[in-house]
Amino acid sequence: MKSPHCFVSLLLCASLLLSAFSGTALATESASVFEFDYAFEDYWYDDEIPASLVGDFPVRSALLMEAESGRILFQKDENKPVPIASVTKVMVTLLIMEAIDSGRVSMDEEVTVSERAASMGGSQVYLEPGEEMKCEDLLKSVIIASANDAAVTLAERVSGSVQAFVVRMNERAKELGMESSSFENPTGLDDNVTNHVTSAYDIALMSRELLKHKKILEYTSIWMDTIRDGAFGLTNTNRLIRFYSGATGLKTGSTSKAKFCISATAERDGMHLIAVIMGAPTRDVRNEAAKTLLDWGFANYFVFSDGGADAGNVRVTGGVSETCACRYGEFSALLESSKRGRITVETELPEELAAPIAAGECVGRVIYKCGDETVGEGGIFAAEGVAKISYGGILMRIIRSFLLI
């Protein structure tokens, strides 16, 4: 058994250690253990974009965008304002989905059709004044069959009137940075409009925003469906849904002014692309041009993903725990296909950390390279929090150590 004199000596030593500790580890504020900034765009390296990619197709404008990053892979007159036809309904659908997600509108609610909505021409599902239809069926009619009467019915339900809905369409366009856009109605009909236009780039912006509502893909990817308890059939105006591998949507449009337009989306191996074609002379030219852009994108790019795994434990000073479990953060980057299978990883993680450490705090860095080229950076994060140890805690730790000698 240890003598009382040894125990007193132990307390004196503990007091000296506490005094020293108070000026070091215990006084350390864990502001940012590891400075880290997710600036993936710093590592985007654009290859020379082939200007002739759709040169064989006589279209007014075109653009190819990767949806997750928003990176433009191809562009042709992308900011030129042009008539948009029913691709207008991408914005209509976006506003409807936002209203549903906010709880202002329910998919299951019955919506009454107005005289104005029932009188719309062009593509329609032949709604009657006073007819009631579920919001979900109206939405399917807009997305699949491009129904103008359904679009107006939903616009009136969301905003109270078509005029108010159009105001919101233009407000939302500004919020998304759609600088070349002006909406005058929710249908895209352009016989009696003066400035109902947008650009390929703006269409990609609102399409990208719509894709953030994952549930919409359940509708945009439908080839055929029915409404009115199976009595009325719907067939998607977007033939790519049936004939292009990975197609997920999104919206077609055509009028004599706009010609044939499309915002075509497709996903393969975790990469979602948006191909916009405006002003094609025929439906077939439009579809072939969109397929050409998508094929080129999938052939030349891929999404590299990593992270989420255990990164081991790091020693902690001045904490209630002597170690902190860490994990690799999720990382993804759009890369050229030539880099596939050539990515190497370098890890920067300190040997020890000073408490307190917050759960989720960035404590290290992962550098992704292809040869000597850095293609991106990811973080290493604390999987658990470690509080700063108190004076009493230090004393008890010393006493326990002494008793175990």
Catalytic residues: 86, 89, 146
SS3 assignment for 119-134: CCCCCCCCCCCCCEEE
Q: Is 278 helix (H, G, I), strand (E, B) or coil?
A: strand
CA–CA distance, 268 with 89 (Å, rounded to integer): 25
As a residue count, the chain comes to: 405
Among 260, 261, 266, 258, residue whose Cα is nearest residue 291 = 266
Distances (CA, A) of 315 to 73, 310, 312, 363, 404: 45, 15, 10, 12, 22
Backbone angles phi, psi at 118, to 5 degrees: -70, -20
Distances (CA, A) of 275 to 155, 215, 228: 26, 20, 33
Two structure tokens written together for 338: 């030539």
CB neighbour class for 24 (10 Å; exposed up to 12, middle 13-18, buried from 19): exposed
Among 237, 213, 222, residue whose Cα is nearest residue 98 = 213
For the chain, the C-alpha Rg in angstroms (whole number) is 30
